[in-house]
Structure 1
Amino acid sequence: MTDPKTHPILEPARLGPISLRNATIKAATFEGMTPGGQVSDRLVEFHSELARGGIGMTTVAYCAVTPDGRLHQNQILMGEEALPGLRRLADAVHGEGAAISAQIGHAGPVSNAKSTGSPALAPSPHLSAQHLVLSRSATSADLRRVAAAHGSAALTAREAGFDAVEVHLGHNYLASSFLSPRLNRRDDEYGGTLANRARVALEALRSVRDAVGGTIAVTAKLNMDDGVARGFWLDEAVQLAQWIERDGLVDALELTAGSSLLNPMYLFRGDAPIQEMAAIMPQPQRTGMRLFGRLRLRSYPFEPLYLLPSARQVRAEVSLPLILLGGVNTIDDMDTAAAQGFQFVAMARALLRDPGLVAALSNADYARGGLCIHCNKCMASIASGARCVLIGPPPEGRAVLGAHAR
């Protein structure tokens, strides 16, 4: 049997100012367990189970920096009201030996204004096919407000005892939508050149770094590719990663892809759960998804480490620590990531199906790979609490998503 110490990802790791028991991270995926925007017992148990399962750090998603930055009304808004629940959650995860991070950001055009009661912000007006609402163009004042709110949100996370924050720069949320030439048609200081389109992302990161300094770890989830024509692409992602490194804005970058707004399956890969997603939508979106869902939820074949080819190109151009996401399911995947120069790996679906996977690998059960079959039916489970639907019904408890949200 191979010595587990020969597997770098399972070794203790350093992320900025914090130490992790290993270099595995539970990727941020909305749990659907925050009714009224508050931490629930289910959310505490969800992340505690991941911690018991051996993960190095678990990420709480999604935590909005402003009221209009939520996707819907049942999401955590970082601030005084959320502190007691966040403290309880952090204490529970720490008690199981893991670190905890909060994914913070602004949903931008992905937001459901019907649920939040606030207009969705975007670089340029955009009609959401999902929510049938027109987002409004963010003003310079809006963007300054959102940038400052990122710093305040990071301070809330620190006060709650969190070890890290992850700034969301992907999936065509607000910062990512500004990066996209397809979505950003502005001609002011936030549009046109990459330097202008990256301003929202960089100002949010600077606000966080200025607020917390080196007292907690700061990471960012950065799109490499939107997966749509005329979207943000890898060459610009490399340049932005270089600027982020130059300015010392993060302790690590997590590399992602796809658009929650325009092409969500580009991130997930595997089967497209069209009928399951339709079932949690209101009319007329439900009928539209059933009839035309193949146009929105395009299916991409699953492959192990499917984001590695693109991520390798970022790795070649920056020196800062990188987190590899996408198709990490086995010890061989982790070893490949380490050999390719990635200091951390992030997993999501694999841990929904098998929360104890990392502990098993750490105990030298190397034959045990992830049990996830990439059916992606878990995507729809957030209506009643994120889980692998193949291993049983949800626990008792009401759904947390509003009638117009998913």
Structure 2
Amino acid sequence: MVKKEICKYWQSGCCNRHPCPFLHGDGGEGWNVNVNPKPNVWVRDKEEKKETLSSMSMSMVWRRNEEEKEKVKERCPYPCKYFLVGKCKYGDRCRYLHTWSWSTGPARARAPDFSLLTPLHGHHKAITAILLPSASDKLISSSQDGTLKFWNCHTGQCISTRNFGSEIGCIMSDGPWLFLGLRNSIKVYNFENNTQFTLLGPAGLVYALATHHDKLFAGTQIGQILVWRFSPANNQFYPAASLTGHRDAIRSLIIGGATPALYSSSQDNSIKAWDLTTLECVHTLSDHTDAVMSLLFWEQFLLPCSLDKTVKVWAKKDNGALELIYTHTEEHGVLALQGTIDATGQSVLCCSVNDHTVRLYNLPSFERRGRIFAKKEVRALQTGPSGLFFTGDGTGDLKVWKWSTD
């Protein structure tokens, strides 16, 4: 006779009883991937304000409460590694999770409050960036396989592939412009007037791009940040400056803050802030002990993540100096950050960790919301409209996720 209680060993991913007298998931049937087979529309409306983490004002309590600290001690169930590659022979009898995601909370057997909407297949190597431009019905993805793919947001079908012959380090859009960070160059497209050209100058792969007014910034593999200025008279970008100071590859560029500045993170373990007018370095943060992989702004706070297993929170003081106010620690190195908004309007941080998972946390409490499992490390994260967000892993798998409204 099967008991009504849920098996605590199944919850920890280590039950070896077949059959088990306790419940495994929902009535012993196991968890299944919630894939909607119907065509889905995931278009960013032209007039829609892009959802960002700064769209919600909250009290700034950067810590877990005592109840949440106890939850952290609990083990997350393990996904079946054979299920992840489609080769598990045990089916519902498998003692590990058969699901691409897992949700925390008291109701352990309930489905997550986010679900896999659809997988997009086509890339053969790691996805390096995902982009959903405003007023576009096309999702764009880039990969180490050298291809740029355009996906129809109404059908999920790949409608175009462009092969550049070598790894694409990053992609970024600004209005009608699309920028691709390549090895030793940047490819520029303008879809409004159907023009394209190449910017030369970078040494090595371009890992990060950012724009501010008429300036284009590119972070390179050798630690330089190159700057171009746009001339509307002839629709061209011209070299303007080279920002030096980092000693290793630039991994992330972001513009933000109450008084906007350019922030750069590097494999030299540091973060630098640059004045957008003078292009001089005004701050250097050296609190990380390993490569700083990604930067994110939420409200007025700067959140960097690092291979030293931490996500730090920085705030600007009245005198303009940056102050470290909180450090969140993971069990593994942190690769990428992205913000999303759930169906209730709660700000959620997506945190990709190099154990092949994406951890989700409420902000600012860092209360756990769940995990997403992948075949390999997820290095590309992106948010979209209407509760959508995207992940791209090291095998080339691109997945579309959606927050549940129930």
Instruction: Give the TM-score normalised by structure 2.
Output: 0.27
Higher CA-based Rg: 2
**Higher percent of residues as helix:** 1
**Higher percent of residues as strand:** 2
Instruction: Give the TM-score normalised by structure 1.
Output: 0.27
